[in-house]
Amino acid sequence: MKLTVEQLPRHLERGVAPVYLIAGDEPLLVQEAADLIRAAARTSGCQERVVISADGNYDWASLTHASASLSLFSARRLIEVRLPSGKPGQQGAAALVDYVTRPAVDTVLLIVCGKLDSGGRNAKWVQAIAAAGVFLPVWPIEPGQLPQWIHRRMQAAGLNPTPEAAQVLAERIEGNPLAAVQEIEKLRLQYGAGKLDADTVIDAVASSARYDVYKLVDAALAGDALRVIRILDGLRGEGTEAVLVVWALARELRLLAGVAGRPSAGALDQALVTAGVWEKRRPLVKQALARHDMARWRRLLQDVATIDRVVKGAAVGNAWDELLQLALNIAGKPVIHHAALA
């Protein structure tokens, strides 16, 4: 079966499956899901834990031997396979398929790997695990869901935050859930169970936001001018090279200019599929496409070429000011003069 992180606790209350696959690149959520499975395995009698690092040199025959050998310390055990790349290779894939078709009765197998692309999620070994046990893809928390996620975490820690307090914390730690957990613990120790308002959070919490150019692109596509400004501030403050921002915006503008002006929804959908736009991102891209016509997207693509020359010193101008104007134009908002980028 395929579960979400939110569904995992309820599943574990009913018992432990013979095999689990956790896949994702959000370390906190992956770690917490793995901890829940480890705790449930211990409750079910798995007192021994065997950890295997399956790097490129790992002999997958060892997995078969490990599962076949008797435990020295308990009736049941947990075998944990760490697969950072998410690609076990031909031998590993075959070994995993073979294992899950005949899982050891005294063993719980937990596989933890990095994010899987669409091809990886449809791989035979992943599908075999989903059929025999549980496949748990872990996705990053979306910006729109982050305040609610933080509000729940704060309440679980015994805090009593206002919605505005959770929103402020979300803005301060955006892109870094681990920092959110750390800040919530600090707030708990400092303020206890009393009511927590936005001003208190502003005073207590340092900015731990971890931005990247992809979040900037998404904010521009969504038409969120304030978030565009905040992310650009973060990128510049973290020392991100302006050329990387240019690259990200140019790549998106080439896509938008290429698919704009499609005569029908069906033609647009097919163009997005052909361009490799993930299904999850298509509504965001469509939202942006409704904002400008094809001619406007092509002019913005010309603008990014000019900014590229500024960044490389071939034209006069302030690269970060130009990037702000470009991102806000993509968002369909008037240029806002912002001191932090002056």
Residues 61 and 156 reside in one and the same domain: no
pLDDT of 342: 42
Answer whether residue 229 shows pLDDT above 90.
yes
Residues 6 or more apart in contact with residue 156 via CB below 8 angstroms? none
In three-state secondary structure terms, 55 is coil
Whether residues 121 and 84 share a domain: the answer is: yes
Average of pLDDT values for 196-220? 84
- Same domain for 47 and 164, yes or no, is no
Query: Which pLDDT value is given to residue 231?
Result: 93
Could you tell me if residue 1 is inside a domain?
A: no
Write down which residue in 83, 117, 138 finishes a domain. 138
Q: Is 189 helix (H, G, I), strand (E, B) or coil?
A: helix
- Mean pLDDT (the chain, rounded): 87
Last residue of a domain, one of 204, 229, 247: 204
Domain contains 3: no
Same domain, 133 and 26: yes
Is 108 a domain residue?
A: yes
Question: pLDDT digits over 135-158, tens only?
Answer: 999 998 888 888 999 999 999 999
pLDDT of residue 14: 93
**Cα separations (Å) of 250 from 4, 6, 217, 300?**
34, 36, 10, 9
CATH number of the structural domain spanning residue 48? 3.40.50.300
How do residues 64-80 score in pLDDT, each as one tens digit? 776 666 555 557 889 99
Picking from 111, 138, 165, the residue at the C-terminal end of a domain is 138
What is the pLDDT averaged over residues 22-39?
Answer: 94
Q: How much of the chain exceeds pLDDT 70, in percent?
A: 94
Q: Are residues 106 and 198 in the same domain?
A: no
Give dist(CA 200, CA 331) in Å, integer.
32
Confidence of residue 340 (pLDDT cuts 50, 70, 90): very low
Give me the mean pLDDT over the 224-236 stretch. Answer: 92
The winner for highest mean pLDDT among 23-32, 44-53, 82-91, 259-268 is 23-32
Distance CA 284, CA 272 (A): 12
Percent of the chain at pLDDT above 90? 51
| pLDDT at site 190 | 87
Chain center to CA of 44 = 31
The CATH number assigned to the domain holding 292 equals 1.20.272.10
For residue 106, pLDDT over 70 is answered with yes
The H-or-E segment that residue 113 falls in is strand 107-113
pLDDT at 105: 82
Same structural domain for residues 228 and 259? yes
- Give the residue with greater pLDDT, 275 vs 234: 234
* Whether the Cβ atoms of residue 110 and residue 22 lie closer than 8 Å to each other: yes
| SS3 readout for 225-261 | HHHHHHHHHHHHHCCCCHHHHHHHHHHHHHHHHHHCC
Q: Does residue 254 surpass a pLDDT of 70?
A: yes
Domain for residue 273, yes or no? yes
Residues 6 or more apart whose Cβ sits within 8 Å of residue 281: 218
- Does residue 308 lie within any of the structural domains? yes
CATH of residue 156's domain is 1.10.8.60
Choose from 118-122, 239-243, 328-332, 336-340 the range with maximum mean pLDDT: 328-332
Q: Give the separation between CA 317 and CA 319, rounded to whole angstroms.
A: 6
Residue 338, pLDDT > 50, answer no
Q: How many domains does the chain have?
A: 3
Q: What is the pLDDT of residue 207?
A: 67
Per residue in 152-187, pLDDT tens?
999 999 999 999 999 889 888 877 888 899 999 999
> What pLDDT, on a 0 to 100 scale, did the predictor assign at position 202?
85
Instruction: List b or e across 204-236, with b for residues whose CB sees 16 or more CB atoms inside 10 angstroms.
Output: ebeebbebbbebbbbbbbbbbbebbbbbbbbbb
Q: Could you tell me if 188 and 227 lie in one domain?
A: no
**203 pLDDT exceeds 90?**
no
* Range 30-45 average pLDDT: 94
Give me the residue label for tokens 């600090």: 186
Could you count the other beta carbons within 10 Å of the beta carbon of residue 184?
A: 24
pLDDT at position 339 is 44
Domain membership of residue 21 as a residue range: 8-138
In a domain, 85, yes or no: yes
Does any domain span residue 320? yes
Same domain for 258 and 218, yes or no, is yes
Identify whether residues 217 and 119 lie together within a single domain.
no
pLDDT band (50, 70, 90) for residue 318:
very high
Do 200 and 219 reside in the same domain of the chain?
Answer: no
pLDDT band at 49 (very low <50, low <70, confident <90, very high): confident
Question: Is residue 302 a part of any domain in this protein?
Answer: yes
Whether residue 235 is found in the same domain as residue 329: yes
Q: Are residues 244 and 287 in the same domain?
A: yes
